[in-house]
Amino acid sequence: MTDRIFSWQPVGFAGPRSRRRLALPAALALAFTITLPTPGLGHVNPWIEKAPPAAPRRVGSLELRPCEDVVALCGKLERPLDPMGAVPGTVTIQVEFYPHTRRGKAQGTLVATEGGPGYPATQSRDEYLALFEPLRATRDVLIMDNRGTGRSGALDCRALQTGDHWTVELVARCGESLGERASLYSTTYAADDLAAILDALRVGKVDLYGDSYGTYFEQVFAVRHPDALRSIVLDGAYPLNGADYAWYPSYAPAMREKFNLACERSPGCRALPGSSIEHIEAALTELRAHPVPATAPDVDGRPREFRADATQLAIVMYGSAPTLTTARETDAAARAFAHGDRAPLLRLMAETVSAVDSRDPTADATKWSAGLAAAVMCQDPPQIVDMQLPPAERRLDRDRAVAERQRTHPDTYAPFTIDEYRAMPLDYSFLDQCVGWPVAPATHPASRVGLDAVYPDIPALVISGELDNITTLADGAAVAAAFKHGMQVRIANGFHVNALPHGRSACAAGIVQRFFATTSLGDTTCAAQVPPLRLVSRFAAHVSGLEPALAMPGNQANAEQLRMVAAAVLTAGDLVPRINYNSSGTGVGLRGGTFRITRTGDAAAEGGNDLARVSLNAVRWVEDVSVSGRIDRPPGRHGIVRASLVVTGSGPEGGRGRLRVRWPEGVDGATATIDGSFAAAKVAARMPAP
Tens of pLDDT, residue by residue over 395-439, are 999 999 999 999 999 999 999 999 999 999 998 999 999 999 999
> Please, what is the Cα angle at 601 between 598 and 605, to 5 degrees?
125
Percent of the chain with pLDDT over 70: 91
Instruction: Report which secondary-structure segment, H or E, holds 121.
Output: none
Is 221 a residue whose pLDDT tops 90?
yes
Q: 3-class SS at 114? A: coil
> Dihedral angle at the C-alpha atoms of 522, 524, 525, 526, nearest 10 degrees?
130
pLDDT digits (tens, 9 = 90+) for 430-489: 999 999 999 999 999 998 887 788 999 999 999 999 999 999 999 999 999 999 999 999
Is 48 a residue whose pLDDT tops 50?
no
Q: What local confidence, expressed as pLDDT, does residue 35 receive?
A: 35
Is 32 a residue whose pLDDT tops 60?
no
**Banded pLDDT at 33 (limits 50, 70, 90):** very low
Higher local confidence (pLDDT), 483 or 53: 483
Measure the CA–CA gap between 128 and 142, rounded to whole angstroms. 10
Burial zone of 24 (CB within 10 Å; 0-12 exposed, 13-18 middle, 19+ buried): middle
**Banded pLDDT at 19 (limits 50, 70, 90):** very low
Residue 61 CB neighbours (<10 A): 10
Is 41 a residue whose pLDDT tops 60?
no
Answer yes or no: are the C-beta atoms of 443 and 84 closer than 8 Å.
yes
Q: What local confidence, expressed as pLDDT, does residue 571 receive?
A: 98
SS (H, E, C) 315-351: HHHHHCCCHHHHHHHHHHHHHHHHCCCCHHHHHHHHH
Q: What local confidence, expressed as pLDDT, does residue 54 receive?
A: 60
> Please, what is the Cα angle at 565 between 564 and 569, to 5 degrees?
115
Higher local confidence (pLDDT), 54 or 56: 56
Instruction: Give Cα separations from 314 to 251, 318, 337 (angstroms).
Output: 12, 6, 15
Is 16 a residue whose pLDDT tops 60?
no
Closest CA to 558 of 686, 674, 683: 683
Answer yes or no: are the C-beta atoms of 209 and 112 closer than 8 Å.
yes
Measure the CA–CA gap between 683 and 413, rounded to whole angstroms. 49
Say what the pTM is.
0.91
Q: 3-class SS at 87? A: coil
Longest dimension (CA), the chain: 84
Over range 160-189, report the average pLDDT.
95
Is 356 a residue whose pLDDT tops 60?
yes
Domain ranges in the chain are 8-148+185-240+449-533, 246-355, 543-688
Q: What local confidence, expressed as pLDDT, does residue 55 receive?
A: 76
Answer yes or no: are the C-beta atoms of 430 and 384 closer than 8 Å.
no
Distance of CA 397 to the CA centre of its chain: 33
Percent of the chain with pLDDT over 90: 84
Q: What local confidence, expressed as pLDDT, does residue 653 receive?
A: 63
pLDDT digits (tens, 9 = 90+) for 589-610: 999 999 999 988 665 556 667 8
Is 394 a residue whose pLDDT tops 50?
yes
CA count, 13 A, side-chain hemisphere, 483:
28
Strands (E), 114-266: 139-144, 206-211, 229-235
613: left (phi over 0), alpha (psi -120 to 50) or beta: beta
Closest CA to 398 of 436, 429, 424: 436
Strands (E), 514-555: 550-551
Round the average pLDDT of the chain to a whole number and report it: 91
Fold of the domain built from segment(s) 8-148+185-240+449-533: Rossmann fold (3.40.50)
Instruction: Give Cα separations from 472 to 241, 266, 462, 465, 535 (angstroms).
Output: 14, 22, 11, 8, 21
Measure the CA–CA gap between 194 and 277, rounded to whole angstroms. 44
Q: 3-class SS at 113? A: strand
The residue count of the chain comes to 690
Exposure string of 230-247, with b = 16+ CB inside 10 Å and e = fewer, is bbbbbbbbbbbbbeebbb
Among 128-132, 144-148, 655-659, whose mean pLDDT is lowest? 655-659
Measure the CA–CA gap between 364 and 370, rounded to whole angstroms. 10
Instruction: Report which secondary-structure segment, H or E, holds 502.
Output: none
Over range 386-397, report the average pLDDT.
96
Closest CA to 573 of 565, 583, 584, 585: 565
Answer yes or no: are the C-beta atoms of 151 and 416 closer than 8 Å.
no
Burial zone of 294 (CB within 10 Å; 0-12 exposed, 13-18 middle, 19+ buried): middle
